[in-house]
Structure 1
Amino acid sequence: MESKSSGRVVQSVQRAFELLERIAMQPEGARLSEVADGAGLNRSTAHNLLASLEELGYITQDKKGGTYRLTGKVNRLQRLDAEAEQALRTRIRPVLQNVSAASGESTFLALVTGHDYLCVDAVQSNKPLHLAVRPGERKSLLGEALGHVLLAADTDLAASLRGDDPDSWTQYAREIAEAGRLGFALDLDSQRAGISCVAVAVTPRAAIAVAGPTSRLPKARLVKIGEKIRQELDAVRPANQEWL
């Protein structure tokens, strides 16, 4: 299909985004005929564009000839807007403070950004020997307890990362599966010598983690801290609405 320009707008790009927008208007899924007719495109052209968007991971079909729906990849193109992020941080801040006070360790909140996570808020331990976690720090989702619990919570994100880096995925697949089964992820002195961590997802895009010296954080204690995080989240969880 030939791509034409109108001014500075490439026609094929414009059409692809219009199809995405039309699919987004129907969360339960939209058929080829619906999005093609709505966009004023012949079905062959629409099908080719949709096939490209599906190959890129932005839309999916449950079965051949079925309806199209968006994947979570669209949401991962950008961080939360400033207002939504601030609202989440404000609600979660008491959780960080309470969990840090109860555990005595550094506690932090992080958000998904692409295939990384970004620390956006933290409460530091007041003990002389502790893990210093600073807002603005960014790390890969793979290889970290916090990343593993987020991957377990978002199957679209997991599929995207698995496709982009299959070797690394294979290395950590067991830990991610375990995080999905347990509802929390553990790092027992495996990523950084002398440091262990527990992480719990708030949403598929946000998670809380507690980390500190392994000498103070054996597995049994990490599990109890994970339970404490969930208790504190339940106490501030919005009623009948989403976190974000």
Structure 2
Amino acid sequence: MSNTDLLSFSIMELQSSSGRVVQSVQRAFDLLERIALQPEGTRLSELADGAGLNRSTAHNLLASLEELGYITQDKKGAAYRLTGKVNRLQRLDAQAEQALRARIRPVLQSVSAASGESTFLALVTGHDYLCVDAVQSNKPLHLAVRPGERKSLLGEALGHVLLAADSDLAASVRGDDPKSWDRHEREIADAARQGFALDMDSQREGISCVAVAVTPRAAIAVAGPTGRLPKERLITIGKRIRLELNAVRPANQEWL
């Protein structure tokens, strides 16, 4: 479902459930829909004229939407554009998630076999990530990762690489928990620079991890005992993940 479809559905749902629409809510959604139709952004004057609003009313509604994190401007007076927050209100639909898992499953299997460690795929859900598929290591001592596990984006290599891949998500998480953000800001910056994120026995004693983003909403991680995963080996595994992803990346289309 596209951003515009999602927003239109929300208005229709409100109408059918209550028999009436709160005017300010309707106007705000109308503005969001208009912005969604212009990926490069659209200005206050165009939005106000298109929605039949005076500039002052439109500006106040847009300021509220910007404060809530749904739209943004590069600078004051510039065009408004959507952030990624609307997409983060919902998980992938079942069909899209199933297609992604099917494409990524061979990568999980190949990387797990090559590394000997547990490998898993996770998706962004709000300010958390959710494990949706995993291949367990067959070694007696390994990290058991189970689909359905949910963890905060802050404090884990997998979360850090997702934050590095999505500036809008990063801004939202930073605003929600600035103290935790400050503790992990360097790790997130390193992930953005390197293209992968590492945990070197820092988040769980005796466990190290490397994570690589598939999209801003999905990432793969490999984790296991620190004794088997020195930094150099984690970096090698991270490069292997990227190579495997490139081999199965859909031609001329997005992952999701």
Q: Please, which moves more after superposition, 22-31 or 10-19?
A: 10-19
Determine the structure 2 residue equivalent to 1:97.
109
Equivalent residue runs for 1:177-192 within 5 Å: 177-192=189-204
Separation in structure 1 between the aligned mates of residue 141 and residue 22 of structure 2, nearest angstrom:
56
Determine the structure 2 residue equivalent to 1:229.
241
1:62 aligns with 2:74: yes
Q: CA shift at 1:206, angstroms?
A: 0.4
Match of 1:76 among 81, 88, 92: 88
Offset from partner CA, 1:21-45 (integer Å, 9 cap, x none): 1100000101112222222222211
Determine the structure 1 residue equivalent to 2:152.
140
Separation in structure 2 between the aligned mates of residue 40 and residue 71 of structure 1, nearest angstrom:
24
Equivalent residue runs for 1:45-60 within 5 Å: 45-60=57-72
Normalised to the residue count of structure 1, the TM-score between the two structures is: 0.96
Match of 2:166 among 154, 158, 163: 154
1:29 aligns with 2:41: yes
Match of 1:88 among 100, 105, 118: 100
Quick one: which amino acid aligns to residue 253 of structure 2?
A: Q
Separation in structure 2 between the aligned mates of residue 149 and residue 241 of structure 1, nearest angstrom:
22
Q: CA shift at 1:240, angstroms?
A: 1.6
Determine the structure 2 residue equivalent to 1:108.
120
Q: CA shift at 1:103, angstroms?
A: 0.4
Determine the structure 1 residue equivalent to 2:224.
212
SS in 2 for 1:211: strand
Quick one: which amino acid aligns to residue 207 of structure 1?
A: A
Offset from partner CA, 1:140-190 (integer Å, 9 cap, x none): 000000000000111111111111111000000000000011100000011
Which consecutive residues of structure 2, in runs of 5 or more, have no partner in the other structure?
1-14
Separation in structure 1 between the aligned mates of residue 140 and residue 75 of structure 2, nearest angstrom:
57
Normalised to the residue count of structure 2, the TM-score between the two structures is: 0.92
Separation in structure 1 between the aligned mates of residue 240 and residue 111 of structure 2, nearest angstrom:
7
1:16 aligns with 2:28: yes
Quick one: which amino acid aligns to residue 73 of structure 2?
A: Q
Quick one: which amino acid aligns to residue 109 of structure 1?
A: L
Offset from partner CA, 1:175-230 (integer Å, 9 cap, x none): 00000111000000111111000000001110000001111111111111001100
Which consecutive residues of structure 1, in runs of 5 or more, have no partner in the other structure?
none
1:168 aligns with 2:177: no
Separation in structure 1 between the aligned mates of residue 237 and residue 168 of structure 2, nearest angstrom:
28
- CA root-mean-square deviation: 1.2
**Percentage of pairs with the same residue:** 88
Q: CA shift at 1:78, angstroms?
A: 0.8
Q: Please, which moves more after superposition, 144-153 or 32-41?
A: 32-41
